Chain A
Amino acid sequence: MSNQATLSLRKDWDGGVSPFGVSYGKMFMWFFLVSDALTFSSLLCAYGFMRHKFAGDWAVPNDVFTHFPFLHGDHPLAYVGFMTFDLIMSSVTMVLAVEAGHRLNKRQVAMWLFFTIIGGFIFVGSQCWEWYHFITGEASNQQYREYWMNGKHIIDPHFQGANLIVNAYTQLPTFGDFFFCITGFHGFHVFSGVIINIIMLIMVLNGVMEKRGHYEMIEKAGLYWHFVDLVWVFVFTFFYLL
């Protein structure tokens, strides 16, 4: 038996076939995603470091992200919940597009890709909205009107919201910095994912994939899109829940 295993191993790694059983493009999409995941993980680890260093002074997310469109009052986490639902939903439509591609069904691929693009735009728009309310800050429970800037102690009773130097949610500028950096980096990934999906949709509608005889390009774009969803799952946990 061990002899047989050696034989099959030799056959896999002898050349002439892919030892991983995937095409060149898909394998390198995976390797790119691993390196991108390392970037995001190190950002989140740096966030975890700061979070533990300033454990008592960190802002409570329930008090910061309380807005919901067209509704007054406090709705903690409701809007991020909606954003998460939207991204999971668009992830499902993407995987359905990939599945339709496996059946070589051009019409369904185009349809599901279109829904994925709509979901992506909703997410990017939601993030803009979220940033706007974080920056202008109309929450009732903001407390930090005093801060140090350029070596001076400033008391500003009208100060609201957040920027890279000060924020009204905690005395630590790091809170705002990490929020802008990580959600911004993720939002940029979502945006480029939407662009990639639009290019895929145009290619599908032009019949490029049909000519090739397979829809593997959709699968690769799908890998990127699912990766964006994967990162959001972690960002959602570490920024909004904990």
Chain B
Amino acid sequence: MDFFEEYKGYPNYEKAAIHDEAHGKVVRKKLWMVFWIMLVITIAELIIGSQFHFSEINKEYTFIFLTLVKAFFIVWIFMHLGDERRAMKYAIIAPYTLFIFYLAFMAITEGVYSKVIRDALVSMVLHQ
């Protein structure tokens, strides 16, 4: 009845992750641990964001670092990418990272440069 059932010996990947009660307990413990880590990071971000007033560039780097830590936990633990094969991990992470780091670099560099040009034009107009 199923297309894949015609392939005798094709591994049943849908059932690969099925585990028993004892292993489930270990997994659940890890998941709650990750939840507490993410909660602490979020609260730290909120406190830094609303209370502290340190220099703009340090704030940026702190927030982006904490965000990347949270993103890692979501992708690696919650989405179970850490449990996949190495080929799968690279197929998902490598193209995305390569492209987006490049795009972010281009966008930010170009944005900063546009500000320089804009400020120069504005001061030119004002001094005429």
Contact = CB atoms under 8 A, between A and B. Distances in A.
Contacts of B103: 41-42, 45
Contacts, number: 159
Prevailing SS type, chain A contact patch:
helix
A47 B66 CA distance: 20
B15 A214 contact: yes
A91 B108 CA distance: 31
A41 B7 CA distance: 39
Contact of B42 (A52, A88, A104, A223): A88
Nearest to A234: B67
Scoring A26, A38, A45 by chain B CB atoms within 10 A of each residue's CB, the highest score goes to: A45
Interface residues of A, number: 64
Contacts of B60: 242
Interface stretch (A149-157, A180-188, A190-198, A225-233): A225-233
A52 B104 CA distance: 12
B92 A50 contact: no
Interface string B54-90: 0000011001101100110011011110001101100
Contact of B9 (A16, A51, A85, A229): A16
Nearest to A89: B35
Given A21-B13, A53-B118, 11 more contacts: A22-B13, A48-B108, A53-B112, A54-B115, A81-B42, A92-B78, A99-B27, A104-B18, A233-B71, A234-B67, A241-B49
Interface of A: 12, 16-23, 26-27, 30, 34, 37-38, 41-42, 45-46, 48-55, 62, 76-78, 81, 84-85, 88-89, 91-92, 94-96, 98-100, 102-104, 212-214, 216, 219, 222-223, 226-227, 229-230, 233-234, 237, 240-242
29 contacts: A16-B9, A17-B10, A18-B11, A20-B88, A21-B88, A27-B88, A34-B95, A38-B99, A42-B103, A49-B110, A50-B111, A52-B112, A53-B118, A54-B115, A77-B50, A84-B42, A85-B39, A88-B42, A100-B24, A102-B18, A102-B19, A102-B24, A212-B14, A216-B14, A229-B74, A230-B74, A230-B75, A233-B67, A237-B63
